[in-house]
Amino acid sequence: MASIKQFQVTFDCAEPERVARFWCEVLGYVVPSPPEGFATWDDYGRSLPSEERGSWFACVDPSGVGPRLFFQRVPEGKTVKNRLHLDVRTATGLVGEERLAVLEAECARLVALGAVRERLLPADDENESCIVMQDVEGNEFCLD
């Protein structure tokens, strides 16, 4: 049986470019080059029918290791908790106060970018602390 080598994570959202650029900042991702024959993404967008302009945006890991993130415009807004969320591994291997300090510093950086802090989940017998957050459109993610 063949194994899957690559995958992308797709987000439904209202403003694809805005959400994509937020996640670029969170993860250190970049916007890929526009399609061949176009100097900029704006040039490419102007070539599309008006109803398709701004309907999607993507970002990629510049190292080529992480999955491509794809953001597509949908008409309905988010109404319930995500069934899937990203864990942003900010403090891997750290514990206690050192872990909390790293998580809080990253939380502050992301809040300045438009994220919302929901709550701290303190360490227990099974898990280290993490911070539950929302991106610029209310999609939950964890700083872990």
pLDDT tier at 1 (50, 70, 90 boundaries)?
low
User: Any idea which residue has 């176009």 for tokens?
Assistant: 38
Q: What is the DSSP string of 52-92?
A: GTTSEEEEB-TTS-SPEEEEEE-SSPP-S--SS-EEE-SST
Tens of pLDDT, residues 104-142: 999 999 999 999 999 999 998 888 999 999 999 999 999
Residue 86: which of 134, 49, 42, 120 has the closest Cα?
134
Rg over alpha carbons for the chain, rounded to the nearest Å, is: 17
pTM of the model: 0.88
Average pLDDT for 46-51: 91
pLDDT at 94 over 80: yes
Tens of pLDDT, residues 60-82: 999 999 999 999 999 887 788 77
What pLDDT does residue 58 have?
Answer: 96
Distance of CA 96 to the CA centre of its chain: 26
Residue 115: which of 134, 130, 100, 102 has the closest Cα?
134
What pLDDT does residue 84 have?
Answer: 84
Joined together, the tokens standing for residue 134 give: 């929302």
